[in-house]
Every structure is written in structure tokens, then in C-alpha cells.
């Protein structure tokens, strides 16, 4: 077999298998949201913050539990010899001591000292030393430790609530992108129908030109409109591709995976519960952002307590055991040692007081911020209800307009076939119908997004 032919067959076979192996991922709106919650990269980073907070809690907890440390040391004096001279001076005269003035124990000591002073200088060789030590420490009392432990626990809750807030943001992004794709695809289908109608109109006009009933300028005008519609369609398709890429990124999917949306625009609109959303009463405390501020307030309260406990003493205990591996002949240190340490704060020139006051001021700021946020959420809630009501009214209006535009287009097409109107008039009516469809689809998207914003405000996505 020809070598080039063999490689060509192999290449196309591999290409075919690779193409065949690429599955199409079908996604409903709910599936897309779930996939985003599981695989979105930004959410993964937010969950890492939860893991960090958990490890921080363990670190703080460990500081109050028993701590064991070990050490090993070795020291050499390079054979140094120390010379001790007790005043004998190497003389030949031995002092006379009256031992009758001392008791039996003192007499023995005096005799040893007398012998050392009479014998001249004494030399001691410094031996190498080596020790292995094991030490245990334990916090016995410390108010800041317990308050700090509570602070770390609250920080965990704050990190988890931040993840929940991030999940709502990602869900909203996925919903908006999903709905935008469906709306854009619906607009492309309307443009396709418009182009098809214009092409049929162009062919009919060309026949009329050949029959001498119409002019070539009518055909040219229709051709220009067809070109404009085609360019508009291409622009929309490029935008749809960008939105698909955005959706892949939001759900944590590779950019080369083919995605197919299983929902229809009509089904999404039918599933909207607009009336209950407008009638339902909501509590501000259901808002994730408000819940985060509540946790921040609780956290700051523990910070105030933490600073107050800086006035209290701290009690710690320790025990150590030293194994003497190599010692000199003159070693008085014990093997076992234990003790306690009480640290009492006495005077800090107002530093501790300032820290407590600063923490209290921060707590007051958070309290004020909560009041501000509560009012803002109430205003935002009323605004979103207003937006949803207006979007629903606009949707219904545009829905009626498109029905009227469709009837007008049908009537004008019949008149055009009968030669009662010109192609220019029919082209204008066709453009009006296309605009009515675009306005209706824009109103549909606006309605869905207003509904999403209202649901997100109270954590109902």
C-alpha cells in the first residue's frame, strides 16, 4: 500500500473516532445550576475559605491542649582543664587548726579543705555534656483562649454563609445566561422566517419585473433588506456562541464540550410564579447578605469579650524530664522538674482599655450598618416588585402587539400578491413584524430576569 495513502486513512480514522467520541451534554436549567454549584471554579475557592476557617479553629483549639516538645543538645569543651587554687600556694608550712572547736561533721570538712590547701592547685578536666529533654506544657486558665475558640467557630459560620451567598450569585449568572441564549436563539428563528418571507417576496417581484408589472428597484430594495437581515443573524449567532462559552465557564465545563439546552423559552415563561412572588410577604432576615452582617455582629461581640479578658491572669503548668547522656563530674541539675506560671497583667498605660473601646466602637458600627442594610433591603424589595409588575405588563402588551403585527403582515402579503401594494410597503410591514417579535422577546427576557432578581433577594433560587 502507498505510504501516503496509509497515513491518510489512519489520520481520518482517528479523527472520525475522536469526533464520534465527543458526546453532547444536554442541560436543563436546574441541571445547569446544580453543575455550577458543584464545579464552578470561583465557588471552589470560596469553599477553600471554609476549609481554612476549619483548620484555623483546630489551630486555636490546639493551643489550649497539652503541648509536648523534645530537645537534644551536645556540648564539648575540647578537653579543657580548669585549675582550682584554694590558697595553699605550694608552701611547706601546714597551718595548725584547733579541731576541738568543731563538731564531728565540721571536722571532716575542715580536714578535706586543709588537705586541698596544703596540696597546692587542683586540676579538673571538663568532660563533654549531652542531654535529652522532654517537656509538657498545659494551659490551666486563660479566658482569652475560650473566647478566641468561640471566635474561630463563628468565623467558620461566616465562611459557610459566604459560600451560600456566592452560590446564589453563580445561580443567578447561570439562569441569566441560559435565558439569554434561549431568547437569542428565538430571535434568530424569527430572523430566519423573515429572510425566508423576503426571499419569497423577492422571487415574486422578479416575476413581476419580467412581466413588466414591477421595476428592478423593487427587487434591489428587497435584496438590501435580505442582506441586512442576514448580517443581523450572523451577529446574533456570534453572540450566542459567546454566551455558550460563558455558560460552559459558569458550570465548570471545558470550552470544547458541545452543550445543548433542553428547556424551551415557552416552558420557562410558563413556569414563572409571578403572582405569588408579588403577593408573598418576605422577612429581611431571609436575605443572605443580611445574615452575613448578623454573623459579623456576633463575631464582633466575641472580639469585645476577647479584649476584656486581656485584664485577666493566665495560668500555665509545665513538667520536664531530662535524661543526662553525658555529664561532667560536677552536675547539680535534677532530672525531673515541674512548676506553674501565673502571668498577671498589671499596668499597660491604657493600651488594653483602648483596645476594648475600639472593639465596642466597631460593634456599634456593625449595628448601624445592620439598620442601614435593613432599610436598603426594604427599598430594594419594593423596587424589584415594581420592576416585576412593570415587566409583566410590558410582556402582556408586547404579546398583544405581536399578534396584531402578525395579522397585519398576513393581510399585507395578500394585498401584495394581488398587486394592491408595492414591495417597499410590504418590506416595511415585514420589518415592523420583526421589530414586534424582537420587542416581545426582549420583554420576555426582562420578565424572567426581574423574577430572578426578586427570588434571589430572599434566597429562593
* The model scores a pTM over 0.95: no
At 80, is the pLDDT very low, low, confident or very high (cuts 50, 70, 90)?
A: confident
Domain count, the chain: 1
CATH number at residue 171: 1.20.1600.10
Residue 186 belongs to a domain:
yes
Q: Which three cell numbers stand for residue 218?
A: 423593487
Ranges of beta strands (E only) in 248-367 are 259-261, 314-326, 336-343
Classify residue 366: in a domain, yes or no: yes
pLDDT in tens, 2-55: 544 444 444 444 444 444 445 789 999 999 999 999 999 889 989 999 999 999
The per-residue pLDDT for range 376-425, each reduced to its tens digit, is: 999 999 999 999 999 999 999 999 999 999 999 999 988 888 878 888 88
124 within a domain of the structure (yes/no): no
C-alpha distances in angstroms, 397 versus 57, 274, 387, 451? 57, 16, 15, 18
Structural domain contains residue 245: yes
3-state helix, strand, coil in the chain (%, to 5): 70, 10, 20
| pLDDT-based confidence at residue 103 (cuts at 50, 70, 90) | low
The pLDDT value recorded for residue 245 is 95
Within-domain flag for 433: yes
DSSP 8-state secondary structure symbol assigned to residue 309: G
Residue 4 included in any domain? no
Q: Note whether residue 128 is domain-resident.
A: no
Q: Which DSSP string do the residues of 35-104 spell out, in sequence order? A: HHHHH-HHHHHHHHHHHHHHHHHHHHHHTTS-EEEEEEEEE--TT-EEEE--S-TT-SPPPP--GGGS-H
Percent of the chain with pLDDT over 70: 85
Average pLDDT, the chain: 85
Q: Show the domain range for 229.
A: 24-67+142-314+348-457
Mean pLDDT for the stretch of residues 128-146: 87
Amino acid at each position: 500500500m502507498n505510504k501516503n495513502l496509509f497515513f491518510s486513512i489512519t489520520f481520518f480514522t482517528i479523527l472520525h473516532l475522536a469526533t464520534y467520541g465527543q458526546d453532547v451534554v444536554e442541560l436543563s436549567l436546574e441541571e445547569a445550576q446544580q453543575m455550577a454549584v458543584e464545579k464552578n471554579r470561583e465557588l471552589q475557592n470560596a469553599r477553600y475559605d471554609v476549609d481554612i476557617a476549619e483548620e484555623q479553629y483546630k489551630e486555636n483549639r490546639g493551643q489550649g491542649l497539652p503541648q509536648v516538645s523534645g530537645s537534644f543538645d551536645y556540648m564539648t569543651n575540647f578537653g579543657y582543664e580548669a585549675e582550682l587554687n584554694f590558697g595553699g600556694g605550694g608552701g611547706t608550712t601546714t597551718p595548725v587548726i584547733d579541731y576541738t572547736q568543731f563538731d564531728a561533721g565540721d571536722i571532716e570538712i575542715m580536714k578535706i579543705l586543709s588537705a586541698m590547701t596544703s596540696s597546692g592547685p587542683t586540676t579538673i578536666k571538663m568532660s563533654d555534656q549531652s542531654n535529652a529533654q522532654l517537656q509538657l506544657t498545659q494551659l490551666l486558665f486563660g479566658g482569652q483562649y475560650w473566647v478566641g475558640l468561640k471566635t474561630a467557630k463563628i468565623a467558620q459560620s461566616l465562611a459557610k454563609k459566604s459560600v451560600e451567598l456566592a452560590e446564589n450569585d453563580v445561580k443567578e449568572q447561570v439562569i441569566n445566561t441560559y435565558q439569554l441564549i434561549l431568547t437569542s436563539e428565538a430571535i434568530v428563528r424569527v430572523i430566519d422566517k423573515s429572510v425566508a418571507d423576503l426571499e419569497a417576496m423577492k422571487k415574486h417581484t422578479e416575476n413581476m419585473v419580467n412581466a413588466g408589472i414591477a421595476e428592478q428597484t423593487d427587487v434591489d430594495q428587497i435584496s438590501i433588506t435580505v442582506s441586512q437581515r442576514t448580517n443581523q443573524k450572523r451577529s446574533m449567532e456570534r453572540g450566542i456562541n459567546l454566551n455558550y462559552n460563558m455558560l460552559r465557564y459558569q458550570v465548570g465545563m471545558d470550552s470544547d464540550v458541545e452543550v445543548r439546552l433542553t428547556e424551551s423559552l415557552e416552558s420557562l415563561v410558563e413556569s414563572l410564579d409571578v403572582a405569588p412572588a408579588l403577593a408573598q410577604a418576605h422577612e429581611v432576615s431571609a436575605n443572605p447578605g443580611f445574615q452575613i452582617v448578623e454573623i459579623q455582629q456576633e463575631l464582633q461581640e466575641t472580639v469585645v469579650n476577647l479584649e476584656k479578658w486581656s485584664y485577666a491572669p493566665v495560668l500555665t503548668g509545665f513538667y520536664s524530664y531530662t535524661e543526662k547522656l553525658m555529664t561532667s563530674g560536677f552536675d547539680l541539675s535534677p532530672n525531673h522538674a515541674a512548676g506553674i506560671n501565673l502571668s498577671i497583667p498589671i499596668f499597660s498605660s491604657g493600651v488594653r482599655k483602648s483596645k476594648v473601646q475600639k472593639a465596642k466602637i466597631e460593634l456599634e458600627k456593625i449595628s448601624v450598618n445592620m439598620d442601614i442594610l435593613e432599610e436598603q433591603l426594604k427599598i430594594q424589595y419594593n423596587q424589584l416588585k415594581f420592576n416585576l409588575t412593570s415587566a409583566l405588563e410590558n410582556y402582556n402588551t408586547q404579546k398583544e402587539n405581536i399578534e396584531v403585527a402578525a395579522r397585519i403582515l398576513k393581510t399585507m402579503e395578500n394585498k401584495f400578491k394581488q398587486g394592491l401594494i408595492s414591495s417597499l410597503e410590504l418590506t416595511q410591514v415585514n420589518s415592523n413584524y420583526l421589530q414586534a417579535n424582537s420587542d416581545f422577546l426582549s420583554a420576555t427576557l426582562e420578565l424572567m430576569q426581574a423574577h430572578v432578581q426578586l427570588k434571589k433577594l430572599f434566597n429562593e433560587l
